[in-house]
Amino acid sequence: MTDVVIVGTGMTKFGEHWDKSFRELIAEAGIKAIADAGIGGEKIEAIYGGCMASGRFIGQEHIGALIADQLGLNPVPSTRCEAACASGGVALRNAYIAIKSGEHNIIAVGGIEKMTEVSTEEASFALGGAGDQETELFHGATFPSLYALLARRHMHEFGTTEEQMAMVAVKNHSNATKNPNAQFQREITIDTVMKSPYVAEPIKVMDCSPITDGAAAVIICSKEKAEELGLKGIEIVTSEQASDTLALTDRKRLTELNATKEAAKKAYAKAGIKPKDVDFAEVHDCFTIAEIMAIEDLGFFKKGEGGKATEQGKTALNGEKPINTSGGLKAKGHPVGATGIAQAIEAYNQLLGKAGERQLKNPKIGLTHNIGGSGATAVVSIFRKWRDKK
């Protein structure tokens, strides 16, 4: 089977786009990705697009067709992928499989969400659908409250503190100041986080990722086609997915996300690497506790030591395992359908030395971790340097 490479990327600035429509965001990211790849749109053979809740947010479904239409790519097949906040990661994985199988040679993969067209209450209700409606939402659980349960148990078992959670936010905001596409480009302090009001104790406002508009896109192709066209890129070594119970009540443990562990286990095995070989990672920090749990479940630190690792600076830009160099969902922003693609773009930028002020020193292997809901879906993808243009 062929290798798969990302040869072009494009994304909008993440934030509140009152002056841009859903369609305009799609077009901006897609056109940028095609231009960055240096190919014509006529070479694209298929489209995969991640989008979670466009029906609730803007009253529009049938997003696959809309993407093809807006980019002028008809009649190529275009498929929408939905897996809550992991929609972008699932879209990328399915496109990866389509090229790996030999079905297609060049595919456009995107992610999109326009979340600010509705009230905060309506947006929260839409996002809550990523959990279990019957056993959680119906009984009054909110999405932050589900992660608050995970946080409480983690604090009880391992002594993780609210201050350590706050340090995740501080770090990611600092990284975001170096990312021109990030929603929040300002430093914050631990005191800022600790004094913000509780949403669902122990999770505070500043522990939460924001409501965001934005789109991201990548062009991926087979190694043979990339060589034929003389394209630069990074290799998608593997992209693995796993599932867990939708409701927290059915989980074996509340201090880990088993879908993350299973997807990571498969990804490391297929890539022939170990967690220590990963130079940096973009992980799904929808809440600060989610980053702490992710860096444990991905094998970067022992279970229960994620908070301490953050406090010790091990996950900072200059740390032993830089996490969320882009600013993460917390500060870069979280337009849910686009997040998985934006993570892949950060891997692309870091591995090609295009990350600007947040550029790491000669990274060779990167990892992305995209979660749906409270962990019922997990996609873990591994990337490495490929080669430059001929």
Structure tokens at 29: 């990211």
Letter for the amino acid at 35?
A: A
Backbone phi, then psi, for 233, in 5-degree steps?
170, -175
The rounded distance, in Å, linking the Cα atoms of 141 and 128 is: 8
Residues 6+ apart with CB under 8 A from 121: none
The rounded distance, in Å, linking the Cα atoms of 238 and 375 is: 20
DSSP for 174-194, please give it. HHHTT-TT-S--S---HHHHH
Q: Where are the beta strands (DSSP E) in 51-105?
A: 78-81
Residues 6+ apart with CB under 8 A from 301: 295, 309, 314, 321
| Whether residue 208 lies in the annotated active site | no
Backbone phi, then psi, for 386, in 5-degree steps?
-115, -90
Letter for the amino acid at 208?
A: C
What is the rounded radius of gyration, in angstroms, for the C-alpha atoms of the chain?
A: 19
The rounded distance, in Å, linking the Cα atoms of 144 and 197 is: 13
Residue 74 DSSP symbol: T
| SS3 at position 312 | coil
Say if strands 280-282 and 365-372 run parallel, antiparallel, or are unpaired. parallel
The rounded distance, in Å, linking the Cα atoms of 4 and 16 is: 33
The rounded distance, in Å, linking the Cα atoms of 112 and 123 is: 15
The rounded distance, in Å, linking the Cα atoms of 218 and 236 is: 12
- Residues 85, 208, 221, 286: which is the catalytic one? 85
Asked if residue 246 lies in contact with residue 371, where contact means CB atoms within 8 angstroms, the answer is no
Asked if residue 238 lies in contact with residue 382, where contact means CB atoms within 8 angstroms, the answer is yes
25 closest CA partner among 58, 70, 61, 60: 70
| Whether residue 334 lies in the annotated active site | yes
Letter for the amino acid at 121?
A: E
Residues annotated as part of the active site = 85, 334
